[in-house]
Chains A and B, each alone.
Chain A
Amino acid sequence: MEFLTILINGLSIGGIYAMIALGYTMVYGIAKMLNFAHGDIIMIAGYTIVLFFPVNPIVGIVAAIVFCAIAGIVIEKVAYKPLRGASPLAVLITAIGVSKLLQSAALIYSKGAIKGVPITTLGAIELFGGNLKIDVITLITIVCSVAIMVALTMFIKRSKTGRAMVAVSEDKGAAQLMGINVNKIITITFIIGSALAAVAGALMIFKPQGVEPTFGAMPGIKAFAAAVIGGIGSIPGAMVGGIVLGFIEAIFGATPLRDYVDAIEFAILIIVLLVKPTGILGKKRREKV
């Protein structure tokens, strides 16, 4: 039974990391930048849900998705678009700046108080005569993340916009020669990435610790690690990397090493980078002269 518990927990934690990692990897693949403010989008989702929760939890989640998508568009237009063609270092520092700006704004907004939703658990179901106890939110998380990953894969493979995203990620110039508006594709990428982060935020909110300005910081960094482990730029890679990280967390969380889970995860990131710098599913890109 313990094995099943670990499996289910791993899938659920991994599903959340995968959803966040997808945002990192898609933006990296298409805009060729590391959006370090991506984790803070989760925090915006958290505050939005807390704000609208008294009205209706579903309204809160929908509002969070909409707000985060708008935040994604605004951040891209205001902070990143003017730097298109600038050195990668300038863009990276800007992204870190945006992250700090969002966290500081959240600190002013919350006045340092931790805000939470009034319920911290959705209950649990018991299986096998009480031998296996699973939180309802864990099940919802698994179903949501699997559904989202399948839907996203279909969208990328089957839709005109999805294929245009693949084309832009491979060769911006050639994509423009097909008549693809690269700026529009980048905007769509930020919308999808931010919306996925909002869903992840919604699934993370039913926890006693509540929402604070750094609510998205740690999951953001870990999801970034997941994207790198899977192979940054690769969509299936982000999914695999997320799930791998989720299982590591679930497995070590069930051992006396549970306090060192974060350290173990980042150690594994370092090992993966040493053994296979492109990540599990990453491809070596040909450098264009």
Chain B
Amino acid sequence: MALLEVHDLEVNYGVIRAIKGISFEVNEGEIVTLIGANGAGKTTTMQSTVGLIPKKSGKVIFDGNDITKTPCHKIVHLGMTQVPEGRRIFQELTVYENLLMGAYSTKNKTGFKDDLNKIYERFPRLAERKNQIAGTLSGGEQQMLAMGRAIMSHPKLLMLDEPSMGLSPLLVDQVFEIIKEINKDGTTILLVEQNAGKSLSISDRAYVLENGEIVLTGTGKELSESEMVKKAYLGG
């Protein structure tokens, strides 16, 4: 069953047509990736789907609800959130307070302690640094915090925008491992990546975005074997 359906989405920046009517869907339990070059419209697609930037036209259905015109904060309450590009953790708050903000949309107080312990178990570095101001964390730690913060809201669908950006190869592997784990725990994943090789290897399905249009779609395996993808995104 499709958890997220996007139909004919169009997004404009002034007179520039950034997204030219794309459709895609994410089924429950899947890892789906949008790959594409810089400026292809990946982040725009992500941000307009979650309601952070306005859509020109199209329709977005999440978990049976039409959320085309729903403001972002309400979409989060419905169970979809995003680890935004550049992580955007709250620099002035502590690690613990960032995780607390992640749980803003949850009502259950006792659940919070359990969730927090789970996050600290999954990301031991965050436990070590829980009272540290988040702005002083390293890039990798900030990515862990951004993911931990997003999971605190118990999303049914978690979108991750370029989670590997700016990280060392070792950390990139770690991030993709964690994404797989989160997915195994029952969270559906929509991923946006420039690192096509890694992301296709963990994806059930993927879409290739070029100049605001979807030009190719298939399973992760199919796409990683496609000549066109190999040539454009896998360096040969």
Q: Are B76 and A167 in contact (CB under 8 A)?
A: no
Tell which of A75-83, A100-108, A170-178 binds the partner: A170-178
- Contacts A163-B100, A177-B50, A177-B81 given; indicate if A170 touches B91 (C-beta within 8 A): yes
Q: Give the interface size bracket for B toward A.
A: 20 to 34
Contact pick for B76, options A160, A171, A176, CB 8 Å: A176
Q: Are B92 and A176 in contact (CB under 8 A)?
A: no
Give chain A nearest CB distance to B160 CB in angstroms. 12
A167 partner residues in chain B, CB cutoff 8 A: 90, 93, 101
Interface of A is mostly: helix
Q: Are A171 and B90 in contact (CB under 8 A)?
A: yes
B81 partner residues in chain A, CB cutoff 8 A: 177-179
- Contacts A177-B72, A178-B153 given; indicate if A163 touches B84 (C-beta within 8 A): no
The complex places the Cα of A206 from the Cα of B46 at a distance, in Å, of 57
- Contacts A176-B52, A178-B76, A179-B77 given; indicate if A166 touches B93 (C-beta within 8 A): yes
Contact pick for A166, options B71, B77, B92, B153, CB 8 Å: B92
B73 within 8 A of A: yes
The complex places the Cα of A205 from the Cα of B234 at a distance, in Å, of 73
- Number of A residues, CB within 8 Å of B: 17
Contact pick for A173, options B52, B77, B153, CB 8 Å: B52
Q: 1/0 contact trace for A145-172 toward B, CB 8 Å? A: 0000000000000001001101100110
**13 additional contacts (CB under 8 A) given A174-B88, A177-B76, A182-B73:** A163-B100, A166-B92, A167-B93, A170-B91, A173-B84, A176-B51, A176-B72, A176-B73, A178-B76, A178-B81, A178-B105, A178-B149, A180-B73
Q: Are B104 and A164 in contact (CB under 8 A)?
A: yes
Q: 1/0 contact trace for A9-30 toward B, CB 8 Å? A: 0000000000000000000000
